[in-house]
Copies of this chain bind each other. A is one copy, B any other.
Amino acid sequence: MADIARLAGVSTSTVSRALSGSKLVNQETRDRVMELARSLKYTINIGAQNLRLKQNRTVGVVIPAVSDTHTRQHLTDPFFLGMLGSLADALTEQGFDMLLSRVDADQLDAAAQPYDTGRVIGVILIGQWRHHDQLNQMAARGVPIVVWGAQLPQQLYCTVGGDNVAGGLLATRHLLQQGRRRIAFLGDIQLPEAAMRYQGYCQALQEQGLAPDPALQVSVSFLPEGGTEGVQELARRGATYDALFACSDLLAMTAINALRAQGRTVPHDVAVAGYDDIEQSTYFHPPLTTVRQPLADAGRALVATLLELAEGRSAASQQLPTELIVRASSV
């Protein structure tokens, strides 16, 4: 900047003004400065600008990594990539940058670090896992944070999420409409989102005067192996079922594989519905019936909410509508 000032024969103040398009500076000078900046490929140092302006146009996005006992298990669910893409778009649209970090799910406090050190104006967390309390603490401490997940009672932090109860309800109703009566449920109901899907599942059963059979509910992790394990566990229990509702498409896919290994066909022997509507669901064999999460809206809503919070305003949690997509795995 000093260089430009010297070359243009003006002061840095003028350069600064010119570059920011201030009307206070002579049209001609401004053009000259602009031109000079372009030819020198000069761009304002955002770090310094931020420091001076006490502003910041970066938000933190945190993806939790599951660390099981041995290996650090990576989240490979394509749903996350979709969410990331959606966030990246929404942020770009608003002129914000995205600082991505990956944090062990069991030390979520680290998620606030980029905020504490002033690098970001707030944090978007994808997935609330079972760390309600830690999230509450962070929010109470004043960290602007928005979580993709379910709305819980006594929640101090802000969430944006799909309507999980409706999602569970839609999927289960659909399976019931196909004449299925013994519907297995795959998903870790310790996690708020899965719990609410389970709630919708129960509700749909009750509408038909059916009671949920605990033998049909298997809590498996969201890791892809979960589907295999779930189906094996059901076999171990000797459970009989003619349909299966899994809490993610990935689980549904591995479950279908495990069923196939048992010699059962989908949808003939077992009708299957997943959750998320990741792209691969379309060309899985059979194509997956699933509950679509509104990805594009999700990104926008998360960003909008975070910006509210970051500006010191309060923001309400939001629930986005979900939609049943019927494909061959259930009909």
Contacts and interface: CB of A to CB of B under 8 A. Distances in A.
Interface of A: 41, 43-48, 50-51, 56, 58, 61, 63, 65, 72, 74-76, 78, 80-82, 84-85, 88-89, 92, 97-102, 113-114, 116-119, 141, 224, 227, 250, 253-254, 256-257, 260, 279-280, 283-285
A250 B282 CA distance: 12
B44 A117 contact: yes
Given A76-B78, A100-B100, A116 B285 contact: no
A126 to B, nearest CB: 12
Contact of A285 (B63, B72, B257): B257
A224 B97 CA distance: 28
A19 B51 CA distance: 20
| Number of copies of chain A assembled together | 2
B118 A46 contact: yes
B102 A88 contact: yes
A74 B85 CA distance: 7
Contacts of A56: 47
17 contacts: A45-B117, A47-B51, A47-B56, A58-B99, A65-B85, A76-B78, A76-B82, A76-B85, A76-B279, A78-B78, A81-B84, A92-B101, A98-B99, A100-B100, A257-B283, A284-B284, A285-B285
B116 A43 contact: yes
Contact of A47 (B50, B76, B250, B284): B50
B76 A81 contact: yes
Contact of A45 (B44, B118, B256): B118
Contact of A283 (B99, B118, B224): B224
A114 B114 CA distance: 18
Contacts of A80: 81
Contacts of A250: 280
B76 A88 contact: no
A318 B254 CA distance: 35
Nearest to A278: B76
B47 A119 contact: yes
Nearest to A97: B99
A51 B49 CA distance: 10
Contact of A119 (B97, B102, B118, B141): B97
Contacts of A116: 41, 43
B88 A101 contact: yes
User: Which 9 pairs of residues, A with B, have the shortest CB-CB distance?
Assistant: A81-B81, A45-B118, A88-B102, A43-B116, A100-B100, A257-B283, A46-B117, A74-B85, A76-B279
Contact of A48 (B51, B84, B89): B51
